[in-house]
Structure 1
Amino acid sequence: MAYLVTFHWGWLLASLLLGLAMGWIAVVQRGEGLSKRTSRWLALLVAALVAAALARIVPGRPGYWLDLGLLMFAPYLFGCAVGSWLRDWAISRPKAAA
C-alpha cells in the first residue's frame, strides 16, 4: 500500500481535488439522492471490495487496479465531504435573531 501512495501520489491528489470540486458543485443541485435500499447495496459492494483487497483474492494486475481504485476512492469521498462543507459554510447566511 505504501508503494501505491508513493508511486501514485499525483493521482491521489487529483482524486482529492476532483472530490473537492464535485462536493462544491453537489450542494448546488438538491437531488433526491439514493434510496436506503440502494445505499445499503452500495455499502455492501464497497465492503466486499475492501474485503477482497485485504484478503488478496484478486491476483495480478486486476488486484493492483482494485487496490489503486479503492485507494483513490477514499480521498475522493473525503474531498466530496470537505467540498460540500466548504460550500455550505461559504454560502450560508446567518439567520436573523427573532
Structure 2
Amino acid sequence: MMVLANFYWGWLLGAVLLGFAAGWISVVQHGPGLSKNAAMGVGGVTAVLIGLSLARIVPGRFGYWLDLFLVMIATYLVGCGIGAWLRYRVVARQMRGG
C-alpha cells in the first residue's frame, strides 16, 4: 500500500479534493438514498472486494488495480465526509448568526 501512496500521491490528493468538492455540494441535495436491499448489495460487494484484497487472491496486475481502486475510493469517500461535515458546520454557523 505504501507503494501506491508514494507513486500515486497526486492522484490520491486529487481524489480527496474531488471528494471534498462533492461532499460540499451534496449537502444541499437531499435524495431518498439507497433502499435496504441496494445497501446490502453494495455492502456485500464491498466486503468481497476488501476480502479479495486482504487475502491477496487476485494476482498480478489485476490485484494491483484492485488495491488502487480500493485506496482511491477510500480517499474519495474521506474527502466526501470532510466536505459534507465542513459544509454542515459552516451552514449551521450562518443559520445561528455567529
Q: TM-score, normalised to structure 1's length? A: 0.91
If each structure's helix is expressed as a fraction of its own residues, which one has the higher value? 2
Determine whether 1:94 maps to 2:62: no
Return the letter of the residue paired with 2:67.
D
Gaps of 5+ in 1: none
Write the mapping of 1:7-18 to structure 2, written as runs, cut at 5 A.
Answer: 7-18=7-18
Return the letter of the residue paired with 1:94.
R
Return the letter of the residue paired with 2:48.
A
Residue in structure 2 matched with residue 71 of structure 1 by the alignment: 71
Residue in structure 2 matched with residue 27 of structure 1 by the alignment: 27
Deviation per residue, 1:16-62 (Å, 9 max, x gap): 00110000111111111111221111111111101001111111111
Residue in structure 1 matched with residue 47 of structure 2 by the alignment: 47
Residue in structure 1 matched with residue 3 of structure 2 by the alignment: 3
- In 2: Cα distance, 1:74 partner to 1:4 partner: 13
Q: Count residues in correspondence.
A: 95
Deviation per residue, 1:53-86 (Å, 9 max, x gap): 1111111111111000001111111111110111
- In 2: Cα distance, 1:68 partner to 1:15 partner: 12
- In 2: Cα distance, 1:24 partner to 1:46 partner: 24
- In 2: Cα distance, 1:29 partner to 1:77 partner: 17
Moved over 6 A (4+): none
Identity of aligned residues (%): 53
- In 2: Cα distance, 1:44 partner to 1:66 partner: 16
